[in-house]
A and B are shown apart, each in its own frame.
Chain A
Amino acid sequence: MSAEALDIDQGKSLRGEMTSARRRRTLKFVRELADHPSFLIGATILAILTLIAVLAPWIAPYDPNKNNYRDVLMGPSSQFWFGTDGYGRDILSRVIYGLRVSLMIGLLVAILTGIFGTILGTAASYVRWLDGLLMRTLDGLMAFPGVLLAIALASALGPSEMTVIIALTVTYTPRTARVVRAAVLVVQGMQYVEAAKAVGAGHGRIIFRYILGNALSPLIVQMTFVFAVSIIAEAIMSFLGVGPPPPAPSLGNIIADGRTYIQEAWWVAVFPGIVIAVAVLGLNLMGDGLRDIIDPRHRSER
């Protein structure tokens, strides 16, 4: 047997060991998640809210956009559980549909920042000459106050849910990219990646199989937080007049609409406010749980 063949053989067995180790780790991870109280609470909250959002057309008692001049700013009652807004629209129905829009915005921003963050972060850490250029650009984006960037983009692109998603994606991608880059840099130096390189695995294979596989955990944690932050950011954009356009409800634009009547009709802003708080809290608890489990320093403490 030639020395070369031996090397390849060793590489194979090394890889085999690694995959099974990963599988074991994944199993352990799932078990730990099921065990973690704050993750469980957060996940349950999110599941319920998602269910409400998905079932909106069947749950909502009224058409969320139906104006009713006779029933403007009515307090909570058996007819309108959450009261009505300045157009006489049922707040409960609007909150249910608004949840749909807000969760969709949050989820899409989380996914898109995840994708772009991964591409940019990996590129920066893997392709040395790109690192400086990419990181300076991302630093520039980060130095740009997020809200202002969002307003400017919203003015440029016109109002739509898509605009909100794009603006928030641009705002949060740099942070995600940094997280990925940091994780990849750590992994890159590790022995098994060196080993994979040594046995001649292709760049694509190394990136997808070994590096990204290991950057995935911090990335998921980051995405959970981006999801949460985006829901709040949507509300702030609505406050500044660049949120999802009327008449479609989002949690943020219902609150923004209701802020003028905080004293006269508290229900307009308070009910969607509670739902936002619950959603964001749920996501944060989930993220905390994930991070606790992933971060080995915290693992022992529990």
Chain B
Amino acid sequence: MLLFIARRLLSAIPVLFVVSLMTFVIMWLVPGDVSAEIGGTDATPEQIQQIREQLGIDRPLLERAVNWYGNLLRGDLGHSYLLNRSVVDAVLERLPVTLSLAGLSLVLATIMGTLLGILAAVRHNSWVDQGSMVAALIGLSIPDFWFGLVLIILFGVTLGWLPTGGFVPITEDVLGWVRCMTLPALTLAFTQMGVIARMTRSSMLDVLDQDFVRTARAKGMRARTVIFKHALRNALVPIVTVVGVTAGVLLSGAVVIESVFSLPGVGRLIVGSIQRRDFPVIQGGLLVTASIFVFVNIVVDMLYGWLDPRVRDER
């Protein structure tokens, strides 16, 4: 097992290298640089040149790339051009927001999706089945920003139950954290639960059909016990797989949700940095999010092996 983890961690290195290399290529393609943001609308060409020299953006890309990798090996991701802090700090202070959002919505999506999926599988080929599956699909069919704004108006203004945006760290106020994260997490979960619901349904159908479930039923176990104890546990494998894939999607989705709900998360940090051409933050931020994605997938693979010994043995 340890060997497996070590191997997976090692194999993450080339992946992350590819990510950082791609970031350089994109930065090379993107027109304009941070000097425009610093200099403003009326800056003269001389002022712009001065800013570029100060920050070293006038140097050739290759030289900047070599420097960046050199610093990376020393664990230094550089300094933001605009935020007055190191890239590591800039990303770390945002991470709790994005992790809260992604984590909570993953939980919500899993709960809602699994329930819908089980419901559909248990009442297979009935209107409940069709209805749950359409419900699951609707989340996939509506742009999340629009859905989020509707939720804000409904729960924030009309009903006045929940705040319309902003972030409270869990360390400061647990209830406040729950209140401010509910709507964003729900929005994001709504777009993700469909995938989980469908996977759950089909794997449940497979499992329900298998001998041991039939046996259990024949032995007179109550239907609910059968479903939850046996069937669901076996159906966990595909759910976990989906969770791994969804983790990446959630980080992407977070970009939009964070701006609708005014959350200071990593997604908005990176988008803002792209828009302002704050290259060190783009580089560092993408490296961190990619690392999280890779890490989550390693965990998922481990869970996978733990849930299904056959998979582990194959490796």
Q: How far is the CB of B282 from chain A (nearest CB, A)?
A: 8
Question: By the criterion CB–CB under 8 Å, are A280 and B267 in contact?
Answer: no
Residue of B nearest to A262 (CB): B149
Residue of B nearest to A231 (CB): B141
Write out, one digit per residue, whether chain B residues 130-149 have a CB within 8 A of any chain A CB (1) or not (0): 00011001101111111001
Total count of chain B residues near the partner, CB < 8 A: 53
- Residue B78 lies at the interface, judged by CB distance under 8 Å to chain A: no
User: Given A259-B149, A276-B141, A277-B142, A236 and B19 touching (CB < 8 A)?
Assistant: no
Docked pose: A222 CA to B198 CA in angstroms: 15
Which residue of A139, A145, A279, A297 contacts B289 across the interface (Cβ within 8 Å)? A145
- Residue A112 lies at the interface, judged by CB distance under 8 Å to chain B: no
Question: By the criterion CB–CB under 8 Å, are B290 and A144 in contact?
Answer: yes
Residues on the B chain within 8 Å of A139, using CB? 15, 18, 294
Docked pose: A79 CA to B205 CA in angstroms: 51
Write out, one digit per residue, whether chain A residues 115-150 have a CB within 8 A of any chain B CB (1) or not (0): 000000000000000000000110111111111110
Docked pose: A256 CA to B153 CA in angstroms: 17
Residue of B nearest to A298 (CB): B202
Question: By the criterion CB–CB under 8 Å, are B15 and A140 in contact?
Answer: yes
Question: By the criterion CB–CB under 8 Å, are B290 and A143 in contact?
Answer: yes
Candidate in B16, B142, B251, B253 with the most chain A CB atoms within 10 angstroms: B142
- Residue B270 lies at the interface, judged by CB distance under 8 Å to chain A: yes
Question: By the criterion CB–CB under 8 Å, are B143 and A156 in contact?
Answer: no
Question: By the criterion CB–CB under 8 Å, are B256 and A147 in contact?
Answer: yes
- Residue A196 lies at the interface, judged by CB distance under 8 Å to chain B: no
Number of A-B contacts (CB under 8 A): 139
- Residue B308 lies at the interface, judged by CB distance under 8 Å to chain A: no
- Residue B176 lies at the interface, judged by CB distance under 8 Å to chain A: no
Question: By the criterion CB–CB under 8 Å, are A236 and B145 in contact?
Answer: yes
Residues on the B chain within 8 Å of A236, using CB? 143-145, 256
Residues on the A chain within 8 Å of B14, using CB? 136, 140
User: Given A139-B18, A156-B29, A240-B255, A145 and B267 touching (CB < 8 A)?
Assistant: yes
Q: How far is the CB of B188 from chain A (nearest CB, A)?
A: 12
Q: How far is the CB of A43 from chain B (nearest CB, A)?
A: 15
Residues on the A chain within 8 Å of B289, using CB? 143, 145, 148
Total count of chain A residues near the partner, CB < 8 A: 46
Write out, one digit per residue, whether chain B residues 107-150 have a CB within 8 A of any chain A CB (1) or not (0): 00000000000000000110000000110011011111110011
Question: By the criterion CB–CB under 8 Å, are A281 and B141 in contact?
Answer: yes
Question: By the criterion CB–CB under 8 Å, are B256 and A259 in contact?
Answer: no
Question: By the criterion CB–CB under 8 Å, are A143 and B146 in contact?
Answer: no
- Residue B99 lies at the interface, judged by CB distance under 8 Å to chain A: no
Residues on the A chain within 8 Å of B249, using CB? 146
Docked pose: A240 CA to B248 CA in angstroms: 19
Residue of B nearest to A302 (CB): B125
- Residue B274 lies at the interface, judged by CB distance under 8 Å to chain A: yes
Question: By the criterion CB–CB under 8 Å, are A284 and B137 in contact?
Answer: yes
Write out, one digit per residue, whether chain A residues 262-302 have a CB within 8 A of any chain B CB (1) or not (0): 11000001000100111111001100100000000110011
Write out, one digit per residue, whether chain B residues 182-218 have a CB within 8 A of any chain A CB (1) or not (0): 0000000000000000100010011001000000000
Question: By the criterion CB–CB under 8 Å, are A136 and B143 in contact?
Answer: no
- Residue A218 lies at the interface, judged by CB distance under 8 Å to chain B: no
Which residue of A143, A147, A156, A288 contacts B15 across the interface (Cβ within 8 Å)? A143
User: Given A139-B18, A140-B19, A152-B30, A232 and B140 touching (CB < 8 A)?
Assistant: yes
Residues on the A chain within 8 Å of B202, using CB? 297-298
Which residue of A141, A145, A232, A278 contacts B143 across the interface (Cβ within 8 Å)? A232
Docked pose: A288 CA to B195 CA in angstroms: 12
Question: By the criterion CB–CB under 8 Å, are B293 and A143 in contact?
Answer: yes
Candidate in B22, B29, B282 with the most chain A CB atoms within 10 angstroms: B22
- Residue A44 lies at the interface, judged by CB distance under 8 Å to chain B: no
- Residue A235 lies at the interface, judged by CB distance under 8 Å to chain B: yes
Which residue of B143, B198, B293 contacts A288 across the interface (Cβ within 8 Å)? B198
Write out, one digit per residue, whether chain A residues 229-268 have a CB within 8 A of any chain B CB (1) or not (0): 0001001100110000000000010011001001100000
Residues on the B chain within 8 Å of A145, using CB? 248, 251-252, 255, 267, 286, 289, 293
Question: By the criterion CB–CB under 8 Å, are B15 and A155 in contact?
Answer: no
Write out, one digit per residue, whether chain B residues 255-267 have a CB within 8 A of any chain A CB (1) or not (0): 1100000000001
User: Given A269-B146, A284-B141, A141 and B22 touching (CB < 8 A)?
Assistant: yes
- Residue A157 lies at the interface, judged by CB distance under 8 Å to chain B: yes
Question: By the criterion CB–CB under 8 Å, are B290 and A140 in contact?
Answer: yes
Docked pose: A257 CA to B141 CA in angstroms: 18
Question: By the criterion CB–CB under 8 Å, are A301 and B252 in contact?
Answer: no
- Residue A111 lies at the interface, judged by CB distance under 8 Å to chain B: no
Docked pose: A281 CA to B26 CA in angstroms: 34
Docked pose: A263 CA to B152 CA in angstroms: 11
- Residue B168 lies at the interface, judged by CB distance under 8 Å to chain A: no
Question: By the criterion CB–CB under 8 Å, are A143 and B144 in contact?
Answer: no
- Residue A101 lies at the interface, judged by CB distance under 8 Å to chain B: no
Docked pose: A182 CA to B143 CA in angstroms: 31
Residues on the B chain within 8 Å of A109, using CB? none
- Minimum-distance CB pairs A-B, first 9: A140-B18, A156-B29, A280-B141, A143-B290, A235-B143, A145-B252, A277-B141, A147-B252, A152-B26
